[in-house]
Structure 1
Amino acid sequence: MTPAVAPTPSAAPGEWRGGQVTERALCVLAPNPSPMTLDGTNTWVLLEPGSSEAVVIDPGPLDEGHLRGVVDSVAAQGARVGLTILTHGHLDHAEGAERFAEFTGAPTRAVGRGHDDLTDGDQITTGGLDLRVVATPGHTSDSMSFALAADHALLTGDTVLGRGTTVVAHPDGELAAYLASLERIAALTGGGDVTSILPGHGPTIPDAKAMVDFYRVHRAERLEQVRQALADGAAQAPDVVQAVVETVYAAVPREVWPAAAQSVRAQLDYLGQPW
């Protein structure tokens, strides 16, 4: 298998600051950078030109300055928030949602957490802006993406990131579902419906097809590396997960090893390997 090579991101680490990235999409970057969140959480403000109602995707962490900054960004465009949507329930994306609703008075749509009001294929129209819900479970069971057809863009939350690869957050995340979601996104990019990706972390991806192809090859490579680690003795180790992490993720900074362990558990379950 040819090793996967990640496409060059649209911004290097530390350079991504958000801003207006398509005619309809503005990114307000949350101040929560870390090895797991990259430059911070991308809060997306979507607004149809000339409209007075915006859609906000992922208000982000419970940071009052950030939440008020999102509201101010909408107001600066002569609009108000008409709807808030969550890509999934992880705190770096959703913790601020309740407080954000208090600021805006707008309803929130999501999967779980008392909502369960997003279904695959739903068409969402707010202020003349049209979004289509694309179920993309795997990173988490509740992960959803949103197709912005007018800009040929897909908002992917943590399913596809702007830099590097994502975690299959076992036990809620599940690898078979994640691989199926990548195939689904690949079909959208291959058909030309989606040409760019607006991720939950990191810079925008101008070549959606290349990034999704990279993700698919990368996942196949990782599975093969896990199989080899098991064959080389990790399967007999007292702690199978740790043994695989130390072998397969040796080049990854140790601070992300706990996250890598989640993906390894998902990979071992997928392979039917006890751990």
Structure 2
Amino acid sequence: MRGLRNARAAILDSRAARPHIGAMDALTQIERSYAVAEQVGPLVRRVLARNPSPFTYTGTQTYIVGAGRDVAVIDPGPNEAEHLDALVEAIGDATLAAILCTHTHRDHSPAAGPLAARTDAPVIGCAPLTLEDDGPRADAAFDPDYRPHRVLEDGEIVSGDGWTLAAVATPGHTSNHLCFALPETGALFTGDHVMGWSTSVVSPPDGDMTAYMASLAKLYAREQDTVYFPAHGPAVEKPRQLVRGMIGHRRSREKQILRQIEAGRHGIADMVPHMYKGVDQRLWPAAGRSVLAHLIDLEKRGVVAHSEDRWLLSA
């Protein structure tokens, strides 16, 4: 258990900065409670999917909300038989009132259709979105089969026996990203927008740093949220403190990028090795996507300009 605590501590120390591959490897070597419903808070159970990776941490966490005659499932995860069977078993005799998806990356929404077929539950939540992403994350490709019965707008609610889930639009990681608030307990299900172990990859063309920063500011203003349940990593028990740190981290990244340009490094491939020295090189392509997102945001604000693959400070 000491190894587990130390590994988790290492990740939490770096969570506002970057993924920590060494610590992740240490955790995934320890037996995890896959395909088991675990109580993680009032009205909330978690089922962990067996899809660990450098981008999903120990796997996708599917949440079951409710303790009465009906329940909701948030982020049903990958279409894997073991995971689907575990969700159906955890739902038990309750009615599945809604299957909600925060966004349509393949580690979040593919099980929505199969779970709906087995339970007759409606798929509700984010809008469908499919596009060719030229980023490096094979596990973050969009789910082309996602077909919601109802798309939630910001502030719309889904309710059941003793629970209410309200959509909180948080574009940035993807343009269709939603969080879901559970006002009965002060919980917010944050998908990939805010995670307990690392910052989110923001990968253009759909990932948008301007929108991501605005969504972080939106969550920081929500004083009613007392705990975050992300799709990957541990619960966040001091959410506004973490969000404040994430905003500061992104501003620091901006300054790093400007210093790189001042030092004569005008291409993203030249910047990344200097900016991410402590990050496993397997993550450098993804880091480059976030650098690109920052540069696009800086260009919108008139701070930088680019010509072909060269980024320059604006005159």
TM-score range, shorter chain: 0.7 to 0.9
Q: TM-score, normalization: structure 1?
A: 0.88
Residue 40 of structure 2 corresponds to residue 21 of structure 1: yes
Aligned counterpart in structure 1 of residue 122 of structure 2, from 89, 104, 107 = 107
Higher RCO (CA < 8 A, seq sep 6+): 1
Residue 283 of structure 2 corresponds to residue 268 of structure 1: no
Q: TM-score, normalization: structure 2?
A: 0.77
Partner in structure 1 of residue 215 of structure 2: 181
Aligned residues: 258
- Is residue 52–residue 59 contact of structure 2 (8 Å, CA) maintained in 1? yes
Aligned counterpart in structure 2 of residue 231 of structure 1, from 247, 257, 262 = 262
Long gaps (5+) in structure 1: none
Relative to structure 1, the CA distance from residue 252 to residue 32 in structure 2 (aligned partners, 3 Å threshold; closer, same or farther) is same
Partner in structure 1 of residue 280 of structure 2: 253
Shift of 1:74: 1.6
SS in 2 for 1:94: coil
Q: Deviations over 1:94-139 (max 9, x none)?
A: 1221112112210101333254611001121123310111000001
Residue 95 of structure 2 corresponds to residue 68 of structure 1: no
Partner in structure 1 of residue 137 of structure 2: none
How much identity, in percent, do the aligned residues show?
36
Partner in structure 2 of residue 194 of structure 1: 225
Q: Which 10-residue stretch deviates more, 243-252 or 134-143?
A: 243-252
Q: Which runs of 4+ in 1 moved over 3 A?
A: 5-8, 15-18
Partner in structure 2 of residue 46 of structure 1: 65
Q: Deviations over 1:195-218 (max 9, x none)?
A: 110001001111112211111111
Q: Which 10-residue stretch deviates more, 119-128 or 194-203?
A: 119-128
Letter in 2 for 1:213: R
Aligned counterpart in structure 2 of residue 151 of structure 1, from 185, 198, 201 = 185
Letter in 2 for 1:133: A
Q: Distance between the aligned counterparts of 2:117 and 2:62, measured in 1? A: 17
Q: Deviations over 1:64-93 (max 9, x none)?
A: 110111111121xx4232110000010000
Please give the residue correspondences for 1:117-132 in structure 2 after superposition, counting only pairs within 5 Å.
Answer: 117-132=151-166
- Is residue 53–residue 80 contact of structure 1 (8 Å, CA) maintained in 2? yes
Aligned counterpart in structure 2 of residue 222 of structure 1, from 253, 256, 261 = 253
Q: Distance between the aligned counterparts of 2:190 and 2:79, measured in 1? A: 21
Partner in structure 2 of residue 57 of structure 1: 74
Q: Distance between the aligned counterparts of 2:285 and 2:78, measured in 1? A: 21
Q: Distance between the aligned counterparts of 2:203 and 2:179, measured in 1? A: 17
Partner in structure 2 of residue 212 of structure 1: 243
Q: Distance between the aligned counterparts of 1:95 and 1:261, measured in 2? A: 27
SS in 2 for 1:234: coil
Letter in 1 for 2:151: D
Residue 143 of structure 2 corresponds to residue 137 of structure 1: no
Q: Distance between the aligned counterparts of 1:198 and 1:120, measured in 2? A: 19
SS in 2 for 1:262: helix
Partner in structure 1 of residue 98 of structure 2: 83
Q: Distance between the aligned counterparts of 2:127 and 2:168, measured in 1? A: 16
Q: Deviations over 1:227-255 (max 9, x none)?
A: 111211121xxxx1211222212221111
Aligned counterpart in structure 2 of residue 33 of structure 1, from 48, 52, 70 = 52
- Is residue 171–residue 262 contact of structure 1 (8 Å, CA) maintained in 2? no
SS in 1 for 2:107: helix
- Is residue 7–residue 210 contact of structure 1 (8 Å, CA) maintained in 2? no
Q: Distance between the aligned counterparts of 2:185 and 2:126, measured in 1? A: 25
C-alpha root-mean-square deviation of aligned residues, in Å? 2.0
Letter in 2 for 1:45: I
SS in 1 for 2:88: helix
Q: Distance between the aligned counterparts of 1:162 and 1:151, measured in 2? A: 19
Aligned counterpart in structure 1 of residue 270 of structure 2, from 228, 243, 247 = 243
